[in-house]
Amino acid sequence: MSDNISPLAPTQSIELPDIKGVTCRVARAQYKDWDRCDLTFVELIEGTTVAGVLTQSKCPSTEVEWCREALSDGKARGLVVNAGNANAFTGARGMEAVERILDLASQHLDCSKKEIFVSSTGVIGVPLPKDKSETGLKAAFNAEPCSWKEAAATIMTTDTFPKMATTSAIVGGKKVTLNAIVKGSGMIAPDMATMLGYIFTDAAVDAVFLQKMLIDATAKSFNCITVDSDTSTSDTVLVFATGQTEAPALTSYNDAGADAFAAALQDICMQLAHLVVRDGEGATKFIEIQVVGAESDDSAKRIGLSIANSPLVKTAIAGEDANWGRVVMAIGKAGEPADRDKLAISFGGVTVARDGLVVPDYDEKPVANHLQGAEIDISIDMGIGKGRATVWTCDLTHGYISINADYRS
């Protein structure tokens, strides 16, 4: 956790309302030598349903493997999140630590172990200390309920500010609320979702339907952001629905209010995804890349991510250099259908290249002025189809190197 807050952080803090059926507590397990809480325990009322998306990394953490198994039942009573230790690539010792957490939490809540979900984030390759996790978890059991902001701060690692979001929807004439917290700053390149994110709602939603809506929401939010092109071993996004409102239960898109709830879920996922990019390690600029006119939506997305992941593009923007040739390079290397002579590129609404050439009488000054700001817009028209996509990233500065060179110290 950095003492220097990202210049892209929201200027105003928000207050999240209570979610009936959700109680958050935090404690100090002391996974690292820091003076802060680093274990979060969330108690969920009986009957809560759950859905989740998890990293597609071939080297996932034990926690990810456990969540994947537990999601098959679609029920949840508790969530435990450890910060400071990823417990990934730790073999049998890592599993022993997770088993101990599952035993303690399930006994405390008098429920099945498959109703307990666990996440860990931090350094890879160091087994989660069982003694510290046990001490921290028992302390959390006895702690006073905490605020959403405290829960969001506790799951942070290299993040510079707590990340929270809230929204609502009308289902069957009744209001339902969604709250969410997320952590993520580096090792951000989605391959399902990215980081650790947790969404809580008082709506009643069938687990299978909730899973479908989350996958759809993920595709246009978490899977459209990147900070550094690196996919974590621990990426997890979970949604918990407590059913503690008078709104009717949702089981399919045919139900009244289902579309509104799906839109709210999409909205809160987008809020979280943007907050992660705004806290990208060392970031000074938030970059939106729109691609239209591609062969397909998937092709447009791959082109957008090729641009967003290019160190040459990202460093040019960090240096406020209107070097649109680097965008051309990134489009060309994406491996997607393209026609150089139909391509158009704009920065901040100013067209710099069209039909395979720099525009006549190109004036770089307005583009340079745009790049001096903190919000950067890049638009690409491939000119060959109807595919479109939007992705988000940040610039690449020396701050990213400094943070990651010292990450384990």
* Partners of 236 in beta bridges: 54, 196
Angle value at C-alpha 352, between 376 and 225, nearest 5 degrees: 30
Angle value at C-alpha 396, between 393 and 397, nearest 5 degrees: 145
Angle value at C-alpha 230, between 225 and 234, nearest 5 degrees: 90
CA dist 58 and 55 (Å) reads: 9
Whether 314 has a binding-site annotation, put simply, is no
Query: Could you tell me how many residues make up the chain?
Result: 409
Q: Copy the structure tokens of residue 200.
A: 């809580």
Position 51: which residue type?
A
Q: Copy the structure tokens of residue 273.
A: 């995804």
CA dist 236 and 409 (Å) reads: 25
Whether 113 has a binding-site annotation, put simply, is no
Angle value at C-alpha 362, between 360 and 367, nearest 5 degrees: 150
Whether 409 has a binding-site annotation, put simply, is yes
CB atoms within 10 A of CB 361: 5
Name residue, tokens 């071939």: 58
Q: Left if phi > 0, otherwise alpha if psi is -120 to 50, otherwise beta: which for 390?
A: beta
Q: Copy the structure tokens of residue 36.
A: 């802060």
Distance of CA 405 to the CA centre of its chain: 23
At 339, is the secondary structure helix, strand, or coil? coil
Name residue, tokens 């901040």: 348
Angle value at C-alpha 207, between 201 and 212, nearest 5 degrees: 95
* Partners of 238 in beta bridges: 52, 198
CA dist 195 and 277 (Å) reads: 11
Name residue, tokens 């641009």: 307
Give the E-state strand segments of 135-283 in sequence order. 163-171, 174-183, 196-201, 236-241
Whether 299 has a binding-site annotation, put simply, is no
Q: Could you give the residue numbers annotated as active site? A: 194
Whether 254 has a binding-site annotation, put simply, is no
Whether 69 has a binding-site annotation, put simply, is no
Name residue, tokens 């979970």: 238
Position 377: which residue type?
D
* Partners of 379 in beta bridges: 290, 346
Binding-site members for substrate are: 157, 183, 194, 281, 404, 409
